Each structure stands twice: as C-alpha cells, then as structure tokens.
C-alpha cells in the first residue's frame, strides 16, 4: 500500500522514496492514531504529502521546545534558515526537508503555509501565559491555525470562496482543539511554567492549578463548555471539504469530541495527570468511518 501511495504521490526517485519512508516511520511512532486515520481515510496519493507535512511540524516543535526562551528563539532562527535554504535550493541534507520541498513542488500552497507556520513559531516561543480568551484566539490565529493548515491546507477546496470558508471553520476547530490541549496538558504545562488555560478564568474561579479541588473542577467545566461550543460551530467543515476527504474530517472532529469527553471525566484530576480520548472508542470511530467510506461517497 505504501509503495502504491508513493507512486500515486509522484515520488519516484529512490532517495526520495527512502526519505518519505523514513518520515512515515517517524509519524507512525509519535502519532500512531493520526497516521492510522490518514492511511485508512485519505486517498493514497495524498498520504505521503500529509506525512511530510506532519513530520516537518513535529521536527519544528522538537527543535524549538527545549530550553529557555532565548535558546528556543535561537533554535527557531537556525531552523528557519535551514528551511529557507532548502526551498531556495530545492534540496537539503535533512530528509525531512527534502520531503517537504518535494511536497511543496507537488502542492505549491504548502510553501505559503510553511512561511505562516514559521512566523507563528516566534509567537509560540515567546509566550508565557494566556491572559484571556482574546489572547487565546490570538495564539490560535498566529500559531495553532498555521500549524493545522500545514496538513489541512492539503485538503482545502480549490475554489477561493470554498477555501475561505474551509479555513474559517478550521480556525474554529483548532481553537477547540487548542483549548483541549491546554486542559489535557495542564499538569505538565504548570510544571514548565507555561499554563495555557486563560489566567482571567483561573482568577475568576479562584482555582489552584496545582491541586484538585472544586474550584478547578468548575474551571475545567467552563473551558470544556467553550471547547464544546466551538466544536458545534466547526461542524460545517465536513460539508465544505471535498467528498474524498470527508471521512477523514469526520474522524478528526469525532476524535475531538472523544477528547472533550475525557477532559470532562478527568475534571479537577487534570491538576495531577493528563487525559486523552478512549482508545477503544477512537478505534470504533475510525473503523466506522472506514466502513462508511468503503460503502461509497456520502454528502455529509
């Protein structure tokens, strides 16, 4: 199946085929559920390019996520220069960038998404706290949405008006996803000194982010409700996507609902541990979408 995917993606050179295969192994290792969804629900010819985009995003995050703010900023500047050089020369010493440049040749819009993402990484490197929902939305607009569009942009409709609507719904979806990220990772983020739950909400509930308690429970419930509202508002994304991509988009949004359920169940316990979607329920969701896709195209 993978060799066929490489053929359909236009990846013919032996070195590039090895490069894409290396990125596939990496993505399967750090994002097994997401890879399984892409493998089962996306057209074969798109899979290697999605793999390349996800691998690049992960490599970027890994490079800029360690050390003090100035060290992270320096790592970003170095990485940005390597990416620019790869695009300018159409080649790189790094397999992840060789794949990225090849994917951008086949899908020219990727280059713009890469530029937006790297620009947003400066915001990701610099922030320490999220003051309120307005600042959360800025974080999403500056960083989280460009990160999502590295892959979602490959699924966007060609018509400008439909693409605009697609991106707008992606914005709402990633805002819900980011709010869930900050709740799931609350204990880890507090230890790192970078809690992402809006500070005004923490103060409003009088919550102690380091200890379970009723105040933290009310904070989590409020933030979960806001994520739920965004998931409802993002529902039209499935209908905007091209029919071939709708099973994958449905699975993606369905997994967010499972994440939301897990956050609600964890409640104040998020001060001590993370949470995530139920693996059995996620498997059922993925298998259901796979069966639905095999039955034939649907309209919603």
pLDDT tens track for 181-224: 999 999 999 998 999 999 999 999 999 999 999 999 999 999 99
pLDDT value, residue 94:
97
The 3-class SS string of the chain reads CHHHHHHHCCCCCHHHHHHHHHHHHHHHHHCHHHHHHHHHHCCHHHHHHHHHHHHHHHHHHHHHCCCCHHHHHHHHHHHHHHHHHHHHHCCCCCHHHHHHHHHHHHCCHHHHHHHHHHHHHHHHHHCCCCCCHHHHHHHHHHHHHHHHHHHHHHHCCCCHHHHHHHHHHHHHHHHHHHHHHHHHCHHHHHHHCCCCCCHHHHHHHCCCCCCCCHHHHHHHHHHHHHHHHHHHHCCCHHHHCCHHHHHHHHHHHHHHHHHHHHHHHHHHHHHCCCCCCCHHHHHHHHHHHHHHHHHCCCCC
Residues of the chain with CATH 1.10.600.10: 1-126, 128-300
pLDDT value, residue 85:
97
- Checking if the pLDDT of 300 tops 50, the result is no
pLDDT value, residue 33:
84
Return the residue matching tokens 């699924």. 155
Q: Mean pLDDT, to the nearest integer, of 37-42?
A: 94
pTM: 0.93
- Checking if the pLDDT of 298 tops 60, the result is no
Q: Encode pLDDT of 241-271 as tens digits.
A: 999 999 999 999 999 999 999 999 999 999 9
pLDDT value, residue 191:
93
More confident residue, 33 or 116: 116
- Checking if the pLDDT of 297 tops 60, the result is no
Region 1-126: CATH code: 1.10.600.10
Task: Place domain 128-300 in its CATH homologous superfamily.
Answer: Farnesyl Diphosphate Synthase (1.10.600.10)
Q: Mean pLDDT, to the nearest integer, of 217-237?
A: 98
């Amino acid at each position: 199946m993978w060799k066929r995917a490489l053929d359909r993606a236009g990846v013919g050179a032996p070195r590039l085929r090895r490069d894409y295969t290396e990125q596939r192994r990496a993505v399967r290792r750090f994002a097994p559920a997401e890879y399984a969804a892409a493998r089962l629900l996306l057209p074969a010819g798109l899979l290697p390019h999605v793999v390349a985009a996800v691998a690049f995003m992960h490599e970027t995050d890994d490079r800029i996520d360690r050390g003090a703010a100035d060290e992270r900023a320096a790592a970003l500047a170095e990485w940005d220069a390597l990416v620019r050089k790869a695009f300018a020369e159409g080649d790189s010493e790094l397999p992840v960038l060789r794949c990225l440049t090849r994917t951008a040749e086949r899908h020219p819009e990727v280059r713009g998404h890469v530029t937006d993402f790297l620009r947003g990484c400066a915001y990701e490197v610099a922030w320490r706290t999220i003051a309120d929902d307005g600042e959360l939305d800025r974080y999403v607009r500056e960083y989280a949405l460009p990160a999502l569009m590295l892959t979602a942009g490959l699924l966007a409709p060609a018509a400008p008006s439909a693409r605009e609507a697609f991106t707008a719904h992606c914005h709402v979806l990633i805002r819900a996803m980011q709010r869930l990220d900050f709740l799931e990772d609350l204990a880890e983020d507090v230890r790192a000194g970078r809690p992402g739950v809006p500070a005004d909400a923490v103060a409003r509930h009088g919550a102690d982010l380091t200890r379970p308690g009723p105040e933290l429970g009310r904070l989590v419930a409020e933030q979960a409700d806001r994520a739920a509202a965004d998931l409802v508002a993002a529902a039209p994304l499935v209908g905007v996507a091209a029919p071939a991509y709708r099973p994958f988009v449905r699975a993606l949004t369905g997994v967010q609902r499972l994440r939301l359920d897990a956050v609600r169940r964890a409640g104040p316990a998020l001060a001590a541990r993370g949470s995530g979607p139920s693996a059995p329920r996620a498997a059922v969701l993925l298998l259901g979408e796979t069966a639905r896709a095999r039955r034939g195209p649907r309209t919603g």
